[in-house]
Structure 1
């Protein structure tokens, strides 16, 4: 057996164990709550910025909601800086999950999410930037699973990552605004945030229905957003991916 196969397997196991411990810490409130922001991040200058971005990167990669992270960014740094730092961490988390799946965890992700990989590959392949932007604007779906499935698929990395960055921006700004301490009445600030969130979500749903080129991202997503009639078969004219991520003939 090629030693590289064993090494890659050990890396996968180690990262899964580390992710499990991290999720337990996050769920128990050890990281990424208001008290953590107050004690470890706020007022610590560049060091605090780096700590926040690093925590957001890992949290986004393992699937924590970007909205909550953006809210904490606004709480800790204000609207503009909070938006920038939360967006930077979200993009890095997307990149981390994408390349983890592509270069290290391909077999694990393909076995764990076979249907999702197939659907993401079909949905994003032909118009990657536009379709990724639409996916990020939708108010439903799993950010982390999308990143992992895209990493295993044949989707090109540059348009996927740039589409994700632009698609992340509206909700990052909205939730950073909600969490910020800028001189706006809290009720008004939250009200504006809710209106903007609904608006961006409706825009995502509209673009999904209008520009999906007859394809469907996911049965559950279509059900939640009231998608139109069922799309044609996802891989029409194109073979599915096999366990190695290669397309079958």
Structure 2
């Protein structure tokens, strides 16, 4: 089993290295280049971008950048949906990688931080993962890995991640689309949604603290 784990990790590293010279890595923040890439490659180009977005965020890249770029290139609605698909694929890939192969490594290298996460999600994992997803700061990659290693049930992990990704993904897709089409109302809408997201995060966190204090 250890040999299989090592081989899978080597294959992943080789795959990432092989793609490191791809033009997509160099131009993922260039919205005009991405728009031209889609025009030149059609549906196959769109599929490649979705998979690349999953790989990019799976390596720790900011999902907000993917949402902004996709919003500019595809329009806010299509860009929002495609980015959501990319980030969920990325989350599931990292979750299963950690669940099947990286438990001991994560515990060894992240120790106290990983153990705190385990305690945090032990009860009401859906609400806890949702709070982390909605929070404007934090590591998306570590949340995926810690959730898989800690044994967070798949259903609450996926549903909480999906719901938690929606606000920021929509905000940045709207911002990217508004920049591309010069629609000021889309930029205003993205700012308004950002405020709503922060208020919702604050409410859920205060609710968690209240319930936690009551238990203690």
Counterparts of 1:210-221 in structure 2 under 5 Å? 210-212=207-209, 213-214=211-212
Q: CA deviation at 1:52?
A: 1.6
Structure 1 residue runs of 5 or longer lacking an equivalent are 216-230, 233-249
TM-score normalized by the length of structure 2: 0.85
Distance of 2:205 and 2:31 partners within structure 1: 35
Structure 2 residue runs of 5 or longer lacking an equivalent are none
Paired position in structure 2 for 1:81: 78
Paired position in structure 1 for 2:186: 189
Distance of 1:80 and 1:14 partners within structure 2: 35
Paired position in structure 2 for 1:156: 153
Q: CA deviation at 1:34?
A: 1.9
Look up the SS of the partner of 1:105 in the other structure.
helix
Paired position in structure 2 for 1:39: 36
Does the alignment pair 1:134 with 2:131? yes
Instruction: Answer yes or no: is the 8 Å Cα contact 1:41–1:48 preserved in 2.
Output: yes
Instruction: Answer yes or no: is the 8 Å Cα contact 1:120–1:149 preserved in 2.
Output: yes
Between 60-69 and 103-112, the greater mean CA deviation after superposition: 103-112
Instruction: Answer yes or no: is the 8 Å Cα contact 2:178–2:184 preserved in 1.
Output: no
Counterparts of 1:1-249 in structure 2 under 5 Å? 4-16=1-13, 18-19=15-16, 29-42=26-39, 44-180=41-177, 185-212=182-209, 213-214=211-212
Look up the SS of the partner of 2:212 in the other structure.
coil
Distance 1:23 1:209, change over 3 A: farther
Query: Moved runs in structure 1, 4+ residues, more than 6 A?
Result: 23-28
CA deviation string 1:94-113 (max 9, x = no partner): 00110011112233222222
Distance of 2:90 and 2:6 partners within structure 1: 22
| RMSD of aligned alpha carbons | 2.9
Distance of 1:25 and 1:104 partners within structure 2: 28
Look up the SS of the partner of 1:119 in the other structure.
helix
Distance of 1:92 and 1:123 partners within structure 2: 24
TM-score normalized by the length of structure 1: 0.75
Instruction: Answer yes or no: is the 8 Å Cα contact 2:68–2:175 preserved in 1.
Output: yes
Q: CA deviation at 1:187?
A: 4.0
**May I ask how many residue pairs the two structures share in their alignment?**
214
